[in-house]
Structure 1
């Protein structure tokens, strides 16, 4: 994969790192927790022929600074709006994966006029909105414990749920390396954000074209969660990527990019 250099922007007192490349309609990529913009390299390199592709390191991830420990999902959404203002983007196609998809839903709630279309990939209506209470509470407790421990232990704990069993070792090694550099403060905030959010009230009000894009073998956010969102969002399209797990954009980048390109291009033309 071709590397795209990091840039930096100052947003409301935070240093936000990001990668930007290409030309055309703006495509903004929001990563999941324990990830950063490096997880979007297959999209930065694979879609820059038709889109201006932007992937940030959310505050508390990658090369960005840590936000205050009171930061909420709404604060992240406001920070995203400020970031887009700073780099000169008014409206964009927004793609959010996992925690990034929860953030994208909150961003839509606060700033619906800023989205051209919405792609929600392997995500949730918040853990509270999509998972049984014992499951999300246990998951949150495990994340908070993992944030306080050594990186190697966290990598070993979470990696089995990130890809399908077919994922090659070099891909596993690449994501393991990214996860091992996690920010404890950022991980705690994003895990708590994932757990405490319930966006089920937002879903029926989404009026922009929406694509739900799911790895067929995602164990963290199973297909029934995709079906829940599909039933709740008016006119949403659901596309399943075979032989892909939770981080489907890395495991099956060609299929992921094909769906995103088609969907965003169709709605640009419309």
Structure 2
């Protein structure tokens, strides 16, 4: 793990490889370790960086008064501090929201986007009833030890036949989760609706969904792909909300190769 300081916040990250830069953004209750196998695969011919988002893993806590624009500024600053020239930014779940925020607020930073298990914000992707249920469920975790709710959450993210090592890594990150980060996410992002920003995204975008995803609705993912002018939607059979892994990595490599061929 390495660390870089961005506007007074220490951001930890994993870094490997050389070539076209790819930035990997993990989901809620996770950290960069969620991408360990993908980083190893993709870095054979690309420069790959996976961050611990502020408030996660080895990074500093999130300031209590952060807004959605502070999240995007931190991500843009992180990319700038590392000297990454127009990377492909790949976000999973919460990471997909941060990726869209980056494209909205700092459109010159990413070369392309990959959105996995995607949301246009919870307001922009969930029904009112489901939004209320999700918020209540997350609020209920704040004062409980992660051991009490970790397994139930992971069952909604991974199908029963998911690789055991991937689930174990996710569980380890979840057990180290900070309640203050949950509070910061709820206050800054829970009412976010990014649908108005989607038609203005001008970079190539790949939207990926696991066929067995229990968290990001199929209609929401498809709507994101349809709203972004240069977007393609791919569904991976048998995979869940965390649809990363060999099939996903192959998709990303093909996507980047197409970008290079048309440059």
TM-score normalised by the shorter chain: which range applies?
Answer: over 0.9
Alpha-carbon separation, structure 2, partners of 1:268 and 1:191: 38
Mapped pair 1:164 → 2:159? yes
Mapped pair 1:148 → 2:150? no
Alignment of 1:1-270 (within 5 A): 6-249=1-244, 253-270=245-262
Alpha-carbon separation, structure 2, partners of 1:30 and 1:168: 20
Normalising by structure 2, we get a TM-score of 0.96
Give the Å deviation of 1:157.
Answer: 3.2
Determine if contact 1:128/1:195 at 8 Å carries over to the other structure: yes
Determine if contact 1:30/1:97 at 8 Å carries over to the other structure: yes
Alpha-carbon RMSD across the aligned residues, in angstroms, is 1.3
Match of 1:3 in 2: none
Alpha-carbon separation, structure 1, partners of 2:151 and 2:42: 32
Alpha-carbon separation, structure 2, partners of 1:120 and 1:269: 21
**SS of residue matched to 2:149:** helix
Alpha-carbon separation, structure 1, partners of 2:95 and 2:210: 15
**SS of residue matched to 2:21:** strand
Determine if contact 1:37/1:62 at 8 Å carries over to the other structure: yes
Distance 1:99 1:107, change over 3 A: same
**What is the aligned length?**
262
Alpha-carbon separation, structure 1, partners of 2:131 and 2:62: 24
Gaps of 5+ in 1: 1-5
Give the Å deviation of 1:194.
Answer: 4.4
Give the Å deviation of 1:233.
Answer: 1.2
Normalising by structure 1, we get a TM-score of 0.93
**SS of residue matched to 1:113:** coil
Alpha-carbon separation, structure 2, partners of 1:149 and 1:173: 20
Deviations 1:186-220 (A, max 9, x none): 12223444421100001111110010011110000
Runs of 4 or more, structure 1, over 3 Å off, are 168-171, 191-194
